[in-house]
Amino acid sequence: MGLKWVDVNDIAIELADTYPEQDPLKISFPDLYTKVMELEEFDDDPDHCGEKILEAIQMAWIDEAD
């Protein structure tokens, strides 16, 4: 079973592992959206994502990167 948009913390862990060189503080929401969509484990409707979800993923990624 793949990752869904609601799996904010799991997505953040995958992003931190997949893009260790990326500073999550400096990523734009369009770039973040693209990176989530490119994750191998991600499997959800691209249209079910909004700014609040991207913001939550970014915050979790920042926490994960610390």
Contact between 64 and 16 under an 8 Å Cβ cutoff? The reply is yes
For residue 56, is it within any domain? yes
User: What residues are paired with 3 via a beta bridge?
Assistant: 42
Which tens digits make up the pLDDT trace of 4-44? Answer: 999 999 999 999 999 999 999 999 999 999 999 999 999 99
- Residue 51's domain spans which residues? 8-65
In sequence order, what are the beta bridge partners of 42?
3
Has residue 1 been placed in a domain? no
Say how far apart CA 31 and CA 9 lie, in whole Å.
18
CATH of the domain at 36: 1.10.10.600
User: For the whole model, what pTM was predicted?
Assistant: 0.94
